[in-house]
């Protein structure tokens, strides 16, 4: 491990380090590795400051150095809200109907990446291993190379990689894909994403792909699938202690013997929330006997609330939840319970465990950790059932879930019914198999596989490469 030198992680949002395990997401995946290797974590501070006054914030926590930069209010608008969330995010999720391209936003994207690279280049040491995360920072390696960074640099894409016809709708997509070739290794969530990248390189860039080596623009890199996972034992532990807690007793109390379906998602159009509400309505329509006996708890913390498209999506979802409730509610029963709040992970684990069915039905998702958390939180003696969209990366691995096409409301409604009715032996059989899959691909394996592949990525090509 020490032969690999220091680990430098770069992501749009940095931290938290303390309590990373309770924050979830990327932090869980990175903090252990950073701690082990006395690492540096670099990215946006989450704050804005006038252009001239943005400074580098540095702090140390648990042996990790955090270094963050502010964004100017203009870059927050154009880089973060604009190019990242209004252009690349919908593009990566195949939603070109929602994609908004503005040249000034692309310029801001390039400017922020260049500024990040300029600062980071000064913090790097020879022998560092640099791991860049997600679509916000695609041009970072190219900018670092321009500043003579010779370290190994890897990139991991947390979202799906879109098909070539979709990617090609992005003006200037060539420069974005070319920028990927400044990395030594790029990682995708699934084999499908990897294959779409290889296909794009062959068809749109005149390049070639052989084995894990991909060549284009006179450069060569390694590309692979590194499916992310969760910390299975930690989540299982949280859920295991939940039944003894007062909070859990309260959850049970609220349910009063009813069966709970649970959805937990950032409030984002990619997560399939509208169609999920509709499918739940169809389920109630088809099964009057379930009235009064089931509820759908949807936990959906507001995300990217600065964007008008997200605000209007929220209103639409409010209406859809109200429509289902208006149609089916009785004075003593409200079928849809809807929370716009982030919850502590222990509470989430308890909620998963108290739920008979986990409903994870994104229209498109890189992986989806909620699906995994739901499974890990179940009581092995009496587990609930996962209903999972085939368009989540997780569906490639969690084969024993009930896999649905979220565009098909009737199929999803039927799966909700089948999940609720499933007998104990089948639930146990499926749950055992799913747990084996989770353990085989947990977050520690994701991290170590990626970093081992990065350490092995050939050095030779860098000496011949000339960054453009």
Active centre residues (catalytic)? 158, 365
Say how far apart CA 14 and CA 383 lie, in whole Å.
35
Regarding 370 and contact with ligand ADQ (CB under 6 A), the answer is: yes
Q: Is 95 in the site for ligand ADQ (CB under 6 A)?
A: no
Q: Which of 158, 219, 275, 427 binds ligand ADQ (CB under 6 A)?
A: 158
Binding flag, residue 302, ligand ADQ (CB under 6 A): no
The interface with ligand ADQ within residues 254-273 (CB under 6 A) comprises 264, 266
- Strands of 129-133's sheet in order across: 56-61, 64-71, 40-48, 7-13, 129-133, 152-156, 185-188, 219-225, 213-216, 208-210
Question: Which stretch, 112-120, 233-241, 359-367, 413-421, contacts ligand ADQ (CB under 6 A)?
Answer: 359-367
Give the SS3 label for residue 354: coil
Contact status: 16 vs ligand ADQ (CB under 6 A) = no
Does residue 348 touch ligand ADQ according to CB under 6 A?
yes
Strands 56-61 and 7-13: unpaired
Query: Sheet harboring 357-360: ordered strands across?
Result: 336-339, 294-299, 259-264, 357-360, 385-389, 402-404
Residue position matching structure tokens 């916000």: 136
Q: Can you tell me which of 113, 159, 298, 412 binds ligand ADQ, judged by CB under 6 A?
A: 159
Among the residue ranges 147-155, 177-185, 368-376, 383-391, the one whose residues contact ligand ADQ (CB under 6 A): 368-376
Half-sphere exposure of 437 (CA within 13 A, CB side): 20
Strands 294-299 and 259-264, how do they pair? parallel
Q: How many residues bind ligand ADQ (CB under 6 A)?
A: 19
Cβ closer to ligand ADQ: 6 or 346? 346
Question: Per CB under 6 A, does 25 bind ligand ADQ?
Answer: yes
31 binds ligand ADQ (CB under 6 A): no
Nearer to ligand ADQ, 360 or 385 (CB): 360
Q: Decide whether 35 or 266 has the Cβ nearer to ligand ADQ.
A: 266
In the DSSP assignment, the letter for residue 52 is G
Closest approach, Cβ 398 to ligand ADQ, in A, equals 12
**Among 182, 193, 197, 16, residue whose Cα is nearest residue 113:** 182
242 alpha-carbon distance from chain centroid: 25
What residues line the site for ligand ADQ (CB under 6 A)?
24-25, 158-159, 228, 264, 266, 299, 301, 342-343, 348, 365-370, 373
């Amino acid at each position: 491990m020490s032969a690999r030198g220091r680990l430098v992680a770069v992501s749009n949002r940095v931290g938290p380090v303390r309590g990373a395990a309770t924050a979830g997401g990327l932090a869980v995946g990175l903090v252990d590795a950073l701690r082990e290797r006395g690492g540096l974590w670099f990215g946006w501070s989450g704050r804005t400051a006038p252009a001239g006054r943005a400074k580098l914030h540095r702090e140390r926590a648990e042996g990790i150095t955090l270094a963050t930069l502010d964004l100017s209010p203009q870059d927050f608008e154009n880089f973060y809200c604009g190019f990242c969330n209004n252009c690349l995010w919908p593009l990566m999720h195949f939603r070109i109907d929602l994609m908004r391209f503005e040249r000034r936003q692309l310029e801001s994207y390039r400017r922020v990446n260049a500024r990040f690279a300029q600062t980071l280049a000064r913090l790097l040491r020879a022998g560092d291993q640099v791991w860049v995360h997600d679509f916000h920072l695609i041009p970072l390696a190219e900018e670092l190379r321009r500043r003579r960074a010779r370290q190994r640099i890897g990139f991991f894409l947390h979202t799906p990689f879109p098909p070539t016809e979709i990617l090609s709708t992005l003006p200037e997509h060539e420069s974005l894909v070319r920028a990927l070739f400044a990395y030594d290794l790029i990682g995708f969530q699934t084999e499908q994403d990897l294959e779409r990248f290889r296909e794009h390189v062959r068809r749109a860039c005149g390049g070639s792909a052989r084995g894990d080596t991909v060549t284009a623009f006179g450069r060569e890199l390694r590309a692979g699938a590194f499916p992310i996972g969760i910390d299975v034992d930690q989540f299982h532990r949280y859920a295991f202690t939940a039944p003894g807690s007062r909070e859990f007793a309260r959850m049970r109390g609220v349910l009063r013997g009813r069966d709970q379906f649970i959805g937990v998602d950032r409030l984002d159009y990619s997560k399939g929330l509208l169609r999920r509400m509709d499918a739940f309505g169809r389920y109630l329509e088809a099964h009057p006997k379930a009235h009064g006996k089931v509820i759908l708890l949807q936990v959906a913390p507001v995300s990217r609330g600065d964007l008008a498209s997200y605000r209007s999506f929220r209103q639409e979802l409010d209406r859809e939840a109200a429509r289902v409730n208006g149609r089916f509610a009785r004075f003593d029963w409200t079928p849809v319970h809807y929370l716009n709040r982030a919850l502590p992970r222990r509470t989430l684990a308890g909620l998963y465990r108290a739920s008979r069915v986990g409903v994870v039905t994104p229209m498109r998702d890189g992986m989806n950790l909620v699906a995994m958390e739901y499974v890990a939180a179940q009581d092995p003696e009496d587990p609930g059932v996962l209903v999972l969209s085939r368009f989540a990366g997780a569906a490639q691995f969690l084969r024993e879930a009930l896999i649905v096409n979220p565009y098909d409301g009737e199929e999803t409604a039927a799966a909700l019914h089948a999940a609720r009715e499933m007998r104990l032996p089948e639930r146990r059989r499926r749950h055992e198999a799913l747990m084996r899959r989770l353990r085989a691909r947990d977050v520690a394996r994701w991290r170590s596989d990626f970093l081992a592949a990065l350490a092995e990525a050939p050095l030779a090509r860098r000496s011949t490469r000339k960054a453009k």
